[in-house]
A and B are shown apart, each in its own frame.
Chain A
Amino acid sequence: MLSRIFRRTFLILAFLISAGMVQASEVTAQVAAEAAAEPMILTTTATGIGIDAAVDALNRAIVNHNYTFVRQQAMDSRLVPYAQEVRSVRLVYFCNFTKMDRALRIDPRATQVLPCRVTLVETPTGVDLIAVNPAWVTQNMPGLHAECQEMKRDYLAILEEAAL
């Protein structure tokens, strides 16, 4: 009799635990589906201006959104002599140190999206501003994903303002 009760209790408990895990699995699948919908690139175009004006506009937008300018460089900086650097592709790095500190405390792999970066490419009609979507990079890092979705919103706001 006792053995029968024990067996039933065990089966009920196993069923409940299993149901809970299936639910967790569904939540994980939902998170994965949302992450899969993330585009790799965030981009905008500043039309009718040159690359120097675009860099200035980007720097103003960075400061307006509580980020700090870190540095800018040519795409091939230090890979070729200075005089031969391609001037039409520029990298601008920036950072919000509070957000950096928070992200690194969550997961050291946050360095994969740090510091923030926008690549500027001069075209005949203007300048393309391109950033890798941090929410795309962290699609398999659940702990960082929420933080990086906030960072993605910041990127979009900065890119939009810089292109105005």
Chain B
Amino acid sequence: MKRRALLLAVALGLNFALALPGHADPLMVNKLVDMRRAMDDVALAAANHDLVLVKVQPIDTALAKRGFDNPHMRLLFIGSESAVRWAEAAEPRLLNLLPLRLTLIERDGGVTLMSDDFGPWLREFSEPPAHLMVEAWQAEMKAMLDDFVAQ
């Protein structure tokens, strides 16, 4: 009886796991600083990787001043000229991923810095050189996020 119950439990567990939808996996790091300090640290980390902070989109204040709840989030767009030129030459559809987007979320006295999910792009562009290009951008982004934590 015990063995049968155990087998059933395992089967149910597997069944449940299979029923779960696939999850998107953006790169994500956390740091115990406020939003203002986080913005400075992102700019420094970007510069360390030859990336330029192209634009900050303060959606927190944009929503709050229109009467919505403050989501405590900001969007940051970072890029490099070389990434644009590579995409233009190799796969212009990748220009749609540039400049790369980061989301800063302020919660409980700290911030989370999150990239876009590169997974769908890697699956869509499964062949080189586009695939390698997206992989390189993902690796650069990961290094930059690690640098942000270390600032």
Is there contact, CB below 8 Å, between A75 and B98?
yes
B residues near A71, Cβ cutoff 8 Å? 55
CB-nearest residue of chain B to A137: B120
A147 to B34, CA, bound (A): 31
Among A18, A32, A41, A111, the residue within 8 A (CB) of B75 is A111
Asked if B95 is at the interface of the complex by the 8 Å CB criterion, the answer is yes
Interface size counted on chain B using CB atoms at 8 A:
47
Known contacts A108-B105, A111-B101; is-contact A77 B54 (Cβ 8 Å): yes
* Cross-chain pair count, CB within 8 angstroms: 114
Among B20, B69, B116, the residue within 8 A (CB) of A112 is B116
Which one of B37-45, B78-86, B131-139, B143-151 contacts A? B78-86
Which one of A19-27, A44-52, A56-64 contacts B? A19-27
Interface size counted on chain A using CB atoms at 8 A:
50
Among B15, B96, B105, the residue within 8 A (CB) of A41 is B96
Quick one: CB contact mask for B80-123 with A, threshold 8 Å, 1 for yes?
Answer: 11001000000011011110010101000000001011011000
Asked if B32 is at the interface of the complex by the 8 Å CB criterion, the answer is no
B residues near A40, Cβ cutoff 8 Å? 93, 120, 124
A residues near B5, Cβ cutoff 8 Å? 10
Among A31, A111, A115, A140, the residue within 8 A (CB) of B73 is A111
CB-nearest residue of chain A to B82: A79
A104 to B26, CA, bound (A): 16
The residues of A with any CB-CB pair to B shorter than 8 Å are 3, 7, 10-11, 14, 17-18, 21-22, 24-25, 28, 31-32, 40-41, 70-71, 73, 75-80, 89, 95, 97-98, 100-101, 104, 108-109, 111-112, 114-115, 119, 121, 130-132, 136-142
> 9 tightest A-B contacts by CB?
A25-B19, A111-B103, A79-B81, A101-B68, A140-B22, A140-B24, A21-B15, A24-B19, A78-B54
A-B residue pairs in contact (CB < 8 Å), sample of 18: A18-B15, A22-B19, A28-B21, A40-B93, A41-B96, A78-B55, A100-B59, A100-B63, A104-B71, A108-B114, A111-B75, A112-B26, A114-B59, A115-B59, A136-B120, A137-B120, A138-B24, A141-B24
